[in-house]
Every structure is written in structure tokens, then in C-alpha cells.
Structure 1
């Protein structure tokens, strides 16, 4: 049995071990991360100036600065300047690790970076309309060649379809198990990817046969809303302010952008579509489609579709705009909604 002296020695050793090393938040740091003018809101292209306040004049070996865990540079004097010209917009985290006297203190400050310009406002003209299944609770819509693919949601009614645009004829269809609520889809190569809403799982299909060939998890996000791709990367919305960028091989969520205007960070982006280098995204329960820069998240335009719902058959299950499909072979854009009986070919023009 341990005597009192050994117990005291063990306590002292444990205290010394946990008192050394990096600051884990249990003790107040001798340093603080200061941002010039104590600013927390910036615009794209602003200059961010930060410094380390050394309250006890401890000897600093070096300071490493990070932007959302991405290493930027190191400083001996604790001063830091960053031009915000090539950064992602939205809610960001500036982090500094101060190395001093064989210890490391981690300091953070939250900032928000907004776009410099208001979104350009667009309206539309209906060029043509095509029949759409009025019972389809549309969650995802995408062209491959001249054929339309559609994901239909709701528990017990979720489906994946291949559809002829002009006639509305269903060319191929599979039903999902009742425990799944289908969401957005995208096609990359010979694979079709489909999200489910709150089940934390996506499905991978062979494009031709609709045979399920695999599944993927959501990792950091909790829900699945919309999908699109640029031929190399897959983008995924989850209802929050984040649009995730997925590894096309593993479908892991590697990073994200945050759709942001000159005033605020936006949320609830649902169906996504890649259109000429931009992400088109409709906001859930709204009649607008945002045009998003995929590099930094800037919302560069808003398309107002507010009266389009009035052009379809009115009934008690009629729901919101949801469904954007771009055909790159014809350079034509199509939109529809949940339980709409028409798909509209539209031409977008500045107001």
C-alpha cells in the first residue's frame, strides 16, 4: 500500500505535468490576440492587422498564425498583416500559437468577412414549358446529355427517376426504402450521387442501370440538402451557412465555402446546380436563386422567380420552388418546384 509521502509525490508530479506545455484553457494566458481597432467585421480586400499583447513581458520565441487552421506565417515580434483579397468569405477564425519559455498558448479571434458589392439583381423570361409530374416532391434535378434525372423526396415516397423532358415520360425509376427521405443529386462520370435528408448517408448508383454501388457518410455535417459538381469537385449543401466541398473519390467533406453578401452570411441553400463556373442555389422556402462564386462564397447575383409559382396548376399540395437543371450542351436553364405540374425553360436577364 502507498504511504502518504508517495501519494504526495505522485500528486506533485501530476500537477507539474499538467501545468506545463500548451495552454488548454484551464488557466488564463499571459498573452492575448489583438486585432487593430478591435474590428470583428471586414470586407473583401481589407487589410487585417493583428498583434500579440504580452501582459507579463514574457520572452516570446515565435508566433505562428493560422486562418481556419491553414498556416499563414510565423513572426518573431508577434505582429501580423494579411490582405483579405484571396480569402473565403463568411465567419472565419484567426488563430495564433505563441511559443514562449517552453510553453505554447493558443489564442483565437472570430471575424466575419463580407463581400464588397451587393448582389446583381436578375429577372427571367419563360421561353418554354414542359409537363412535370404534379405528385413529384422535387429535391434534385440534373441533365446528363439530353436526359433529365430527378430525385423525389418524402418518407415512403422517395424515388430516383430518369425522365424525358419534352413528354414528361418516366423512362426509369427506383424507389428508396421507407426510412429514407431523398434529397439532391449530381452526376459525375458514370456515377450518380444522391443525398438523404437526416439519415446521414448518401447513395452511389451506376448511372445507366440505377444499381446501387456504394454509400457515403456525411462526416462533419448533419443533413443532406443539395449537390452539384464542376467535373472535379462535388459541392454539398446541408441547410447551414456552409456549402461543403467533397473529395470526388471518398466523398469526404474536405472544406467549405459560406455564401455571403455585402451585409450577411446566408443559410438554407437547398438545390444546387453548376452553371458556367458558378453555383446556382435556391433558398428553401424562398423564390430566389443565388449565383455563388465557388472560390470564396460571394453571392454575386440573385434571380427573382417570385411569380413563377402562379404559372402552374394551383392545388393544396403545391409547394416551393426547388429544382434547377442546366443543360451545357444547349446552354439552357430549367426550373421547377415541389408538386409543380410544369418545368420551365427560362432566360435570365439583369433587371
Structure 2
């Protein structure tokens, strides 16, 4: 790019950024401001009072208020409105007021950060049974269906999709991915299995019974492909951030999203996903936490720390334990068994979660 063009582009970008952050209208007419101040945090359930301040000599004909793309209402004066937040998905919310006065209209914007209403309930766990797990399996996706484990493994040249015997940990059937692909999350959807890839922007569709590749699709949802699960109607995927996307189960196109927050901040690196009894279970990459997430709002409802499930003292010292971390959640709905494992771990654990003392 020509250096003069670069300078011009940079100047324009800085100017645009500055204008978007000062709570002032896009037009340089009347000096309107809006509250609350940009970046103010609220808890879900809090009432947010929004008010536009106008010059003393300005009488508005009407003020239209928007939350993101949703119209909240119309006011005839600058007294403001109140926003109820108990059912709003969490995260950064843009508030826009469009002021009509003197035959002109101008917009003024701000934003808030909506957090979970309360701290997540802390859970504890009990190991009920231990099963063998293939130590060559860099586990990225895991699901229990039809009496077997469906597992997606990663690493270029070693990525697979496989069926695994729960009792023995032995591979019953598998399909290898091309050497250029890094396998990620998977989900069983009807008579098919869907598998993501890490950065290759490709998704695979397999026959559930034979694991024969049926088709591929372009996956441009999110910055990377990570975890995946299915609630019977739609797919959920994530991408290394705190965002969980909704996908159409037939077209694999995005239909919506939630952002994951607890009562203090966003929770990044949401990874392997499992849908259990109306909630999303997710591990946090390179941490020992499993989160229970509200799929409607993104609020972290519960959290369990599994750091001692595979004690460091009992692990071989020649392994890359900073990389071979907890990753893999599966649920047997018929018997209510919950399974967890990790990348190249020798064990898969059946656990029971209960409230912490």
C-alpha cells in the first residue's frame, strides 16, 4: 500500500474511532449527550436508566430508543427510559437514541456491559468409575451415543473421527483426516456426525454408522473452530473467545449467538461443549474448570474445578502437560452418567457433580 494512502487511512480510522467513543451524535449539530457512560457495568436484572441531555433551547419532537437492533420505545421529551435486563443476553449492549427536533434527526450512542446476576454456584465432584483412554488421542470433541463414544482428535497428520468402546478404550472404527487438517469439536445429528476443523475453515459431515465422509461445508463462523454440541434443534459452536454461536443443523449457517460472562467479566477460551438437561457444559481451555452455562443468556450458572481429577504427581514427567489438558465432556442421558477426559490422558472418568459444601 502507498505510504500516503496508509497515512490517510490511519488518520481516518483514528478520527472514526474517536467519534464513536465520546457519547456525542454523529452530526455536528446540537450538543447532545447520553447516559449511562460508555462501558458502565450492570448485573442482569438491574434497571438501566437511559437519558439524553439536550441544550436548554432544544425541544425534541420525539426520541426513539434502541438496544442493539431492538426498538425499545419512543419518548416525547428527554426524561429518559428504563431498560429491564432480566431476560437480555449478556455482554456489550449498544444503546442508541435518535432525536427528532426542528425537522432534523440525530443519533447519540453509548454502551453498557451486562454481567451475570450472581456468582456461579460452586460444585464439587466424585469419581464414580475410571475407564481406559487412548494416550495417542488428542481429544477435541467427545459424545456418548448408541452405547459408544464418538471422539474427534486433533493435531495435523493425526486427526481422526472415531468410535470408541467405553469399557476398553479401544477404537472400534475411525476415519482419518487429511494431513492438512486439525480435527476439532463434533456432534451427532440424526444419522450424521458433524466435525469442525481448527483453522482450515472446513467442516465435515459423516455417516454416523460407517463414519464415511458424506460432504464438506465452509465454516466461516468465528475466528477458529473449537467445540460443538447439539440440543436437538440447533448446533452450538465456539471459537476461542467467550462467544458461543448457534448454527442451523442442516445448513451449518449462523442463526445467533450468546456471549459467556460470569458476575465479574467475560470468560474467554470456552472450548469443548456438551448439552445436558437444557444447559451448556463447557471446559475452559488450559484450565481445570467446567462451566454450566445458560444457553439463552450466556450466564455462567455453576462451576466445578477438576484440577485434582488426574493428579500431577501421578503423571509421567516426559509429557507436555501444559498442552495435554482437560478436554472432553460426554453425557449418557439414559443412565445420567457424565464422562470427562483430557488430551492424551490415559483415563476417562465417570463423575458425579454436587453442590460444594
TM-score (norm 1): 0.86
CA distance in 1, matches of 2:64, 2:130: 57
Q: Measured at CA, do residues 26 and 50 of structure 1 come closer, stay the same or move farther in structure 2, by a change above 3 Å?
A: closer
Q: Which segments of 5 or more consecutive residues in structure 1 lack a partner in the other structure?
A: 1-24
Q: Do the aligned residues in 1 keep the contact of 2:58 with 2:101 (CA within 8 Å)?
A: yes
Q: Greater shift after overlay, 26-35 or 42-51?
A: 26-35
Q: Which segments of 5 or more consecutive residues in structure 2 lack a partner in the other structure?
A: 1-24
Q: Greater shift after overlay, 30-39 or 210-219?
A: 30-39
Q: Measured at CA, do residues 28 and 213 of structure 1 come closer, stay the same or move farther in structure 2, by a change above 3 Å?
A: farther
Q: Do the aligned residues in 2 keep the contact of 1:33 with 1:109 (CA within 8 Å)?
A: no
Of the three residues 319, 324, 328, the one matched with 1:316 is 319
Q: Measured at CA, do residues 30 and 306 of structure 1 come closer, stay the same or move farther in structure 2, by a change above 3 Å?
A: same
Q: Measured at CA, do residues 38 and 160 of structure 1 come closer, stay the same or move farther in structure 2, by a change above 3 Å?
A: closer
Q: Greater shift after overlay, 273-282 or 246-255?
A: 246-255
Give the match's secondary structure for 2:311.
helix
Aligned twin of 2:352: 347
Give the match's secondary structure for 2:194.
strand
Shift in Å, 1:80: 2.1
Q: RMSD value over aligned CA atoms?
A: 2.3
CA distance in 1, matches of 2:151, 2:122: 28
Note the alpha carbon deviations across 1:51-86, whole angstroms, 9 max, x for none: 222338556443332222223323332522111111
Q: Greater shift after overlay, 58-67 or 113-122?
A: 58-67
Give the match's secondary structure for 1:55.
coil
CA distance in 2, matches of 1:87, 1:342: 40
CA distance in 2, matches of 1:328, 1:316: 34
Q: Greater shift after overlay, 282-291 or 208-217?
A: 208-217
CA distance in 1, matches of 2:129, 2:298: 31
Shift in Å, 1:104: 4.1
Aligned twin of 1:45: 45
Q: Measured at CA, do residues 31 and 192 of structure 1 come closer, stay the same or move farther in structure 2, by a change above 3 Å?
A: farther
CA distance in 2, matches of 1:331, 1:30: 62
Q: Greater shift after overlay, 220-229 or 55-64?
A: 55-64
CA distance in 2, matches of 1:32, 1:129: 64
Q: Do the aligned residues in 1 keep the contact of 2:39 with 2:111 (CA within 8 Å)?
A: no
Shift in Å, 1:286: 0.2
Displaced runs of 4 or more, over 6 A: none
Shift in Å, 1:177: 1.2
Q: Measured at CA, do residues 220 and 172 of structure 1 come closer, stay the same or move farther in structure 2, by a change above 3 Å?
A: closer
TM-score (norm 2): 0.85
Number of residue equivalences: 328
Aligned twin of 1:280: 281
Q: Measured at CA, do residues 55 and 141 of structure 1 come closer, stay the same or move farther in structure 2, by a change above 3 Å?
A: same
